[in-house]
Amino acid sequence: MKTYSLPSLLACLGVGMSIGLALTLPNANAQSAPTETITATSTALKASAIPVDQWARRPEFNNMSLSPNGDWLAAISPFKGRNNLVVINLAERSRRILTSFETTDVANFYWVNNKRICMRVSDGQDVTGNFNYRGTFCINTDGTEFADFTRIDRRSSADQGRAILFNPVRAVGGDSNEYIVSMRARTTASVDLYRFNTINGRYQLLTFNSPGDVQSWVLDRNQVPRAALTFEPRQGNETFRRVGVWYRESADAKWEKLFENRITWGVPYGDSMQILGFDYDNKTLFVSARIGRDKFAVYKYDPSTKKLGDLVFEHPLIDIEDGLLFSNEKKKLVGIRYSAEMPVTKWFDPELEKLQQQLDATLKGMVNNIGIVEEKTKRILVTSVSPTHAGQYYLFDNETKSLEPLVKRRDWLPEQAMSERRFIKYKARDGLEIPAWVTIPKGSTGKNLPLVVHIHGGPQVRQYFGVQWNNERWPVAQFLASRGYAVLEPEPRGSTGFGDKHYSAGIKQWGLAMQDDLTDGALHLVKEGIVDKSRMCLYGGSYGGYASLQGVVREGDLFKCTIPIVAVTDLFMLQQVQHSDIAERGDKSLDTEFTVAVGDSVRDKEQFTRTSPARNVDKINVPVLMFHGSDDRRVPIIHANEFVRAMRSSGRGGLIDYVVYNGEGHGFNKDENVIDHIRRTEQFLAKHIGDETQKKLAAVSASTVVASTK
pLDDT band at 704 (very low <50, low <70, confident <90, very high): low
Q: Looking at the domain assignment, is residue 257 inside a domain?
A: no
Q: Looking at the domain assignment, is residue 325 inside a domain?
A: no
What's the mean pLDDT in 534-561? 97
Distance separating alpha carbons of residues 225 and 414, to the nearest angstrom = 47
The length of the chain in residues reads 710
Residue 571 has pLDDT above 80, yes or no: yes
What's the mean pLDDT in 92-102? 93
Helix (H) and strand (E) counts in the chain: 15, 38
Give the pLDDT score at 6.
31
Q: Cβ–Cβ contacts within 10 Å for residue 93, how many? A: 18
How many percent of the chain have pLDDT more than 70? 91
- Per residue in 353-366, pLDDT (tens digit) is 999 999 999 999 99
What's the mean pLDDT in 426-450? 97
Give the pLDDT score at 25.
52
How many percent of the chain have pLDDT more than 90? 78
Q: What three-state secondary structure class fits 644?
A: helix
Residue 691 has pLDDT above 70, yes or no: yes
Q: Looking at the domain assignment, is residue 385 inside a domain?
A: no
Give the pLDDT score at 700.
84
Distance separating alpha carbons of residues 387 and 383, to the nearest angstrom = 14
- Per residue in 393-409, pLDDT (tens digit) is 999 998 899 999 999 99
Range scoring the smallest mean pLDDT among 289-303, 462-476, 517-531 = 462-476
Residue 20 has pLDDT above 90, yes or no: no
What's the mean pLDDT in 420-449? 97
Distance separating alpha carbons of residues 118 and 197, to the nearest angstrom = 11
pLDDT band at 19 (very low <50, low <70, confident <90, very high): very low
Gyration radius (Cα) of the chain, Å: 25
- Per residue in 101-137, pLDDT (tens digit) is 999 999 999 999 999 999 999 988 888 778 888 889 9
Give the pLDDT score at 469.
92
Q: What is the CATH number of the domain that holds 562?
A: 3.40.50.1820
Residue 38 has pLDDT above 70, yes or no: no
pLDDT band at 236 (very low <50, low <70, confident <90, very high): confident
Q: Residue 569's domain spans which residues?
A: 415-709
Q: What is the pTM of this model?
A: 0.91
Give the pLDDT score at 165.
58
Amino acid (1-letter code) at residue 647: M
Report residue 693 CA to chain centroid gap: 34
Nearest partner of 569 among 620, 513, 523, 535, judged by Cα:
620
Range scoring the smallest mean pLDDT among 35-44, 194-203, 428-437 = 35-44
Give the pLDDT score at 706.
46
pLDDT band at 710 (very low <50, low <70, confident <90, very high): very low
**What DSSP letter does each residue of 93-107 carry, written as one string?**
TEEEE----SSSEEE
Give the pLDDT score at 290.
97
Range scoring the smallest mean pLDDT among 44-48, 263-267, 462-466, 556-560 = 44-48
**What DSSP letter does each residue of 312-342 carry, written as one string?**
EE--SSS-----EEEETTTTEEEEEEEESSS
Amino acid (1-letter code) at residue 33: A
Residue 445 has pLDDT above 90, yes or no: yes
Q: Looking at the domain assignment, is residue 345 inside a domain?
A: no
For residue 524, the surrounding DSSP H or E stretch is helix 513-527
Give the pLDDT score at 152.
57
pLDDT band at 585 (very low <50, low <70, confident <90, very high): confident
* Interior/surface letters 211-244, b for 16+ CB within 10 angstroms, e for the rest: bbbbebbbbbeebebbbbbbbbeeeeeeeebebb
- Per residue in 612-642, pLDDT (tens digit) is 999 999 999 999 999 999 999 999 999 999 9
Q: Quote the mean pLDDT of the chain.
A: 89
pLDDT band at 167 (very low <50, low <70, confident <90, very high): confident
- Per residue in 468-524, pLDDT (tens digit) is 998 888 999 999 999 999 999 999 999 999 999 999 999 999 999 999 999 999 999
pLDDT band at 531 (very low <50, low <70, confident <90, very high): very high
pLDDT band at 26 (very low <50, low <70, confident <90, very high): low
Give the pLDDT score at 378.
87
Distance separating alpha carbons of residues 92 and 73, to the nearest angstrom = 12
Distance separating alpha carbons of residues 510 and 296, to the nearest angstrom = 25
- Long-range Cβ contacts of 469-474 (<8 Å, 24+ apart): 469/385, 469/390, 469/391, 469/409, 469/410, 470/62, 470/391, 471/129, 472/129, 473/124, 473/125, 473/667, 473/668, 473/669, 473/674, 474/55, 474/56, 474/674, 474/678
Q: Looking at the domain assignment, is residue 461 inside a domain?
A: yes
Counting the structural domains of the chain, the total is: 1
Q: Cβ–Cβ contacts within 10 Å for residue 365, how many? A: 11
Cis before 268? omega within 30? no
Q: Residue 632 carries which DSSP code?
A: -
Q: Looking at the domain assignment, is residue 46 inside a domain?
A: no
Give the pLDDT score at 18.
27
pLDDT band at 155 (very low <50, low <70, confident <90, very high): very low
Say if residues 462 and 547 touch (Cβ distance below 8 Å).
no
